[in-house]
Amino acid sequence: MTGIDDFRDRVAVVTGGASGIGKALAARLVAEGASVVIADNDEDLATKTAEEIGATPYRVDVSDAAAVQELADWTVERFGRVDFVANNAGVGPLAPFDELTLEDFRWVLDINVHGVLHGMKAFLPSLKANPAGGHILNTSSMAGLMATHGMSAYSASKYAIVALTEAVRAELEGEGSSVGLSVVTPAQVKSNIGDNSRKRPGLKERVSHGSNDDHLPEVRWMEADVAAGIILDGVRRGDLYIVTHPELLAPIAGRFDEIVKAFEAAATR
């Protein structure tokens, strides 16, 4: 599956685009000549970021399917088409399973999983109708390939994004579609995802949040702009999986080794 090799004169939408990886992606896209919509739930920050990098702000709650559809319709009406969509908005509370309520889980899934689903459902028809084709990028996490303590809600949501991307990409390839689909699995990238998580009323007071420093402390921190460069290179190649931290191969391979062992054990029964 091919990607987008040239973003000049392309129309791009980045959810969660006001800060972190989303902001870095938007800035690089603008620098490469794209018209960029920064879609974010924080209207003031989206406006500030858009003014800073030369993009267009749009307030959206990605957990609201109708609102995301309005974003898609508005983008096509405003720019005539859409070429690239980065479903990047997300929250990431690090907290023990016992301290999270069912409503906490629903909140994480509504934003992280349904936000991606809503973006794909809303934009895919326009991307398919685009004679030049297009591409969707879904932001998962290394937590979507491996899970550890304090990450039950976050990992559950990020695993779902990987699976959703894999399944829909297989369908697009089967159709011979000119729309590409990638999933990025970043590890420690400097962003404000923790701040986003603390915006849930009462969550900060109820749970013993782990810090980002506690999550895979042996892994280097990466600047968002560096991560964005790696991600867009992967989009250009049309990669299914885009990895920012190759040093995490060992624990990922270890997980799959355990799965292989389970199959081998089953074969001997």
Q: What is the pLDDT of residue 197?
A: 52
User: 229, 244 in Cβ contact below 8 A?
Assistant: no
pLDDT bucket at 211, cuts 50 / 70 / 90: very low
In the predicted model, what is the mean pLDDT of residues 166-185? 98
- Output 9 or 191, whichever has higher pLDDT: 9
Q: What's this model's pTM, rounded to 2 decimal places?
A: 0.92
In the predicted model, what is the mean pLDDT of residues 67-80? 99
Give percent of the chain with pLDDT exceeding 70.
90
Q: What is the pLDDT of residue 93?
A: 84
User: 157, 100 in Cβ contact below 8 A?
Assistant: no
150: left (phi over 0), alpha (psi -120 to 50) or beta: left
Residue 154 corresponds to which tokens in the numbers above?
Answer: 């976050």
58 is catalytic: no
DSSP-assigned states of every residue in 38-104: EEES-HHHHHHHHHHHT-EEEE--TT-HHHHHHHHHHHHHHHS---EEEE---------GGG--HHH
**Average pLDDT score over the chain:** 92
* 116-149 per-position pLDDT tens digit: 999 999 999 999 999 999 999 999 999 999 999 9
Name all domains of the chain by residue range, CATH numbers in brackets: 11-267 (3.40.50.720)
Largest CA distance in the chain: 64
pLDDT bucket at 192, cuts 50 / 70 / 90: low
- Of 58, 154, 159, 241, the active-site residue reads 154
State the virtual CA torsion across 133, 135, 136, 137 in degrees, nearest 10: 180
User: 49, 26 in Cβ contact below 8 A?
Assistant: yes
Helix (H, G, I), strand (E, B) or coil at 148: coil
Q: What is the pLDDT of residue 183?
A: 99
In the predicted model, what is the mean pLDDT of residues 261-265? 97
- d(C-alpha 26, C-alpha 57), whole Å: 11
* 144-164 per-position pLDDT tens digit: 999 999 999 999 999 999 999
User: 86, 92 in Cβ contact below 8 A?
Assistant: no
In the predicted model, what is the mean pLDDT of residues 210-234? 78
